[in-house]
Amino acid sequence: MKRIVFPLAALLVFAIPVMAQNHGSHPTGGSHAAPAQHAAAAHRVGGGYIPSHGPRTSRPLPKQPVAGQPQAPHVDANTGRWYGHPAANAGAYHLAQPWQHGHFPEGIGAQHVWRLAGGGPGRFWFGGFYFSVAPADVGYCNGWLWDSDDIVLYPDPDHPGWYLAYNVRLGIYVHVMYLGT
């Protein structure tokens, strides 16, 4: 009997941690897709979802709040739609000198997840690179954890000189400017 009990106990010691892992997401890298949802599921924002691409066109925020969605620029994790991205002629994002500090030299897009390392909306950093949040967007990043949230940068198709920093935990995004190293 002891010959059977010991191997079974050893198997359980190794099997439980493997079964406990969440195989549906990886918070610090890789490409992510929205998990399968029932058609009647509520709109989901954040929670580890990473959009496969940035916004393609301007899409205003809905006039009435949709259940489960914030009244801030966000991405619906069920559909991948970006909400709240202002039109190309939005004056708040016009820069007299776009790319004044150059272009971010590292990877952007869903395959590149960056962990915030400190700062705040006026100046934050990760990996030795510095950014600032657009003044018009500062109110949207109140819940950000500036020393630990994961973000993904996407190009802003409508506003030269800006990137969109998507907060993986919250599903909220803001316009950010690269400040250099």
What are the tens digits of pLDDT across the range 17-49? 333 333 333 333 333 333 333 333 456 889 999
Mean pLDDT (whole number) for 49-53: 96
pLDDT computed for residue 24 by the predictor: 32
Mean pLDDT (whole number) for 61-75: 77
Per-residue pLDDT for 13 more than 50?
no
3-state secondary structure the chain: CHHHHHHHHHHHHHHHHHHHCCCCCCCCCCCCCCCCCCCCCCCCECCCCCCCCCCCCCECCCCCCCCCCCCCCEEECCCCCEECECCCCCHHHCCCCCCCCCCCCCCCCCCCEEECCEEECCEEEECCEEEEECHHHHHHHCCCCCCCCEEEEEECCCCCCCEEEEECCCCEEEEEEEEEC
125-152 pLDDT, tens digit per residue, is 999 999 999 999 999 999 999 999 999 9
Q: How confident is the model at residue 62 (pLDDT cuts 50, 70, 90)?
A: low
Mean pLDDT (whole number) for 50-54: 95
86-123 pLDDT, tens digit per residue, is 887 788 999 999 999 999 999 999 999 999 999 999 99
pLDDT computed for residue 15 by the predictor: 40
